[in-house]
């Protein structure tokens, strides 16, 4: 794993709490592996219930996707609209998952307020603008499906969308007011502070090397210089899952996604780009996400189809895209460029797996893990307190390793060429 590169978030997030590697043998109720938003939210919700918790993080809090993403807080999945989820999972499980998604962004902002986390949180909504007139029927359908389930939602026409986003590119939009954006690394650091403040023992530079079940039914997790014995185990490693649970790693398709920011936009331009300060990702399959940070930088991202010389090719590629959507930005040069791994699945749905008796993981957020991962933290704490795994909001499935999983990641990126064709044809 490489260190988080020169990211905007690393340059602007307040520091995490001081932590160190594990140097002893500990006993606790629940051991959590991974200090991203899923693991830290799990730890907070466990501590709030009075359940003892140790978190082991191989690198640093927010090292994985949680500190590298674009910070969009989105209460939906990229694929899997409400009716489709109900058709796939059945009425009870499908509606449970839909309600969970609907409420996930509110849970994030509520947790931020509860622990007064300084992370540039803005809950002005998430917009999904239609990149072609033919996609208006999709957002109208989504609007109908979500409002039927009591979600707060608005449908905007082209003029309202232009006023909201500061671009004429789009033809209308679905707007979900519970969404928004944050500085994701600042959020991860803030969650770490909150967890430690509640008595969670968080160890960093503490990779879990092996998992064993002891004769007493507990889990023994070894790190290079210490170990934890716990009644229950939560693995929260998502796209950064390694050899610890090899079958799990092989069940994911991992793609590299780039994030970038401009320099702070000058006054005038700053107000005209995303004037309502919402978060936005459009209806393209190869979607174009946009948001601003507090200093007025435009933050966006992309995955390159051909996984060669990506560091060199990403700048001109994204600068051109920014110009297509926001031609009013005069200086499109990028101040920060960084990347991270996204865990995808062929059906593009996240899930939970029981890794063994008393051991669980929530995984494969398909690029939407900020709200869903944090909300899963609350659900995983419920599980540790006794809720059966098949009552959790995400479907419980067997782990199914994919043939040639690592090559599939490269193929998934190349498949973007096809998606772009479809986006143009829509
Ligand atoms: C570039 C990019 C942009 C994205 N944009 C968005 C977005 O705007 N909105 C959104 O909702 N989602 C987005 N996502 C997805 C989102 O970031 C993830 O779904 C989410 O952060 C997953 O959180 P997590 O806590 O489950 O995993 P992670 O944050 O990846 O944390 C896993 C942690 O586990 C640790 N770990 C791994 N193995 C071990 C081990 N053996 N022992 C100890 N620790 C270990 C890792 O070091 C890591 O810190 C994006 C992802 C990327 C990469």
Q: Atom 7, ligand 1: which residue's CA is nearest?
A: 72
Q: Is residue 272 part of a domain?
A: yes
- Alpha helices by DSSP H, listed for 268-337, are 269-272, 310-325
d(CA 232, CA 45): 15
Q: Is residue 180 part of a domain?
A: yes
Q: Which protein residue has the closest C-alpha to ligand 1 atom 12? A: 368
- Taking 80 as the threshold, does the pLDDT of residue 209 lie above it? yes
Q: Would you say residue 2 has pLDDT above 50?
A: no
Q: What is the pTM of this model?
A: 0.96
Q: Which helix (H) or strand (E) holds 143?
A: helix 136-147
- Give, for ligand 1, the residue of 73, 367, 412 to mutate: max count of ligand atoms closer than 8 Å to Cβ: 367
Please check whether residue 64 lies inside any domain of the structure.
yes
DSSP sequence for 360-380: EEEE--TT-HHHHHHHHHHHH
Torsion 141-142-144-148 (CA) sign: positive
pLDDT confidence of residue 310: 81
- Of 263 and 312, more confident: 263
* CATH number, residue 180: 3.50.50.60
Tokens 């997790």: give the residue.
221
Longest dimension (CA), the chain: 67
Kindly state whether residue 420 falls inside one of the protein's structural domains.
no
Closest residue by CA, ligand 1 atom 50: 69
Instruction: Tell me the per-residue pLDDT of 166-208, one tens digit each, with 9 for 90 and over.
Output: 999 999 999 999 999 999 999 999 999 999 999 999 999 999 9
| Pocket-testing residue among 72, 191, 240, ligand 1, by greatest number of atoms within 8 A of Cβ | 240
Q: Which residue lies with its CA nearest to atom 25 of ligand 1?
A: 36
Confidence of residue 1 (pLDDT cuts 50, 70, 90): very low
Q: Report the domain count for the chain.
A: 1
Mean pLDDT of the chain: 94
166 part of a folded domain? yes
Query: Does residue 378 form part of some domain?
Result: yes
Residue 16 lies inside a defined structural domain of this protein: yes
Strands 25-33 and 226-235: parallel
Q: How confident is the model at residue 260 (pLDDT cuts 50, 70, 90)?
A: very high
d(CA 322, CA 69) in angstroms, rounded, equals: 18
- Per-residue pLDDT for 408 more than 80? no
* Domain range enclosing 23: 8-412
Predicted local distance difference test score (pLDDT) of residue 6: 79
Q: Which atom of ligand 1 is nearest to the CA of 339?
A: 1
Question: Whole-angstrom Cα distance, residue 115 to residue 98?
Answer: 27
pLDDT of residue 409: 67
Distance (Å) of CA 35 to CA 7, 26, 180: 18, 18, 22
Q: Does residue 2 lie within any of the structural domains?
A: no
């Amino acid at each position: 794993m490489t260190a988080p590169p020169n990211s905007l978030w690393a340059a602007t997030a307040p520091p995490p709490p001081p932590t160190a590697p594990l140097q002893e043998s500990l006993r606790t109720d629940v051991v959590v592996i991974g200090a991203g938003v899923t693991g830290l939210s799990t730890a907070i919700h466990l501590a709030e219930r009075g359940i003892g918790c140790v978190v082991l993080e191989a690198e640093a809090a927010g090292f994985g996707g949680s500190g590298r993403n674009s910070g969009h807080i989105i209460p939906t999945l990229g694929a899997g609209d409400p009716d489709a989820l109900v058709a796939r999972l059945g009425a009870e499980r499908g509606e449970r998952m839909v309600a969970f998604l609907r409420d996930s962004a509110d849970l994030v902002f509520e947790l931020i307020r509860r622990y007064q986390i300084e992370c540039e949180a803005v809950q002005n909504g998430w917009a999904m603008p239609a990149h072609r007139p033919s996609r208006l029927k999709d957002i109208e359908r989504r609007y109908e499906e979500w409002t039927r389930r009591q979600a707060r939602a608005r449908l905007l026409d082209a003029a309202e969308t232009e006023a909201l986003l500061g671009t004429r590119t789009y033809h209308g939009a679905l707007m979900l007011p519970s969404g928004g954006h944050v500085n994701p690394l600042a959020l991860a650091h803030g969650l770490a502070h909150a967890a430690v403040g509640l008595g969670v023992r968080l160890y960093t530079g503490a990779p879990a090397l092996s998992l064993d079940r002891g004769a007493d039914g507990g889990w023994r997790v070894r790190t290079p210089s210490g170990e934890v014995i716990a009644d229950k185990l939560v693995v929260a490693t998502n796209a950064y899952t390694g050899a610890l649970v090899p079958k799990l790693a092989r069940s994911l398709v991992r793609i590299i996604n780039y994030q970038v920011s401009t320099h702070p936009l000058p006054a005038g331009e700053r107000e005209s780009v995303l004037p309502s300060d919402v978060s936005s990702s459009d209806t393209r399959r190869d979607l174009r996400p946009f948001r601003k940070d507090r200093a007025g930088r435009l933050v966006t991202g992309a995955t390159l189809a051909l996984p060669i010389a990506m560091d060199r090719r990403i700048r001109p590629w994204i600068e051109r895209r920014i110009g297509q959507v926001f031609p009013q930005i005069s200086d499109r040069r990028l101040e920060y460029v960084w990347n991270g791994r996204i865990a995808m699945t062929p059906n593009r749905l996240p899930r939970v797996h029981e890794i063994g008796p008393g051991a669980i993981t929530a995984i494969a957020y398909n690029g939407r893990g900020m709200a869903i991962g944090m909300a899963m933290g609350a659900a995983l704490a419920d599980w540790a307190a006794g809720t059966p795994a098949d009552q959790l909001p995400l479907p419980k499935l067997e782990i199914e390793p994919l043939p040639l999983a690592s090559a599939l990641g490269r193929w998934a990126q190349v498949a973007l060429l096809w998606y772009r064709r479809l986006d143009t044809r829509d």
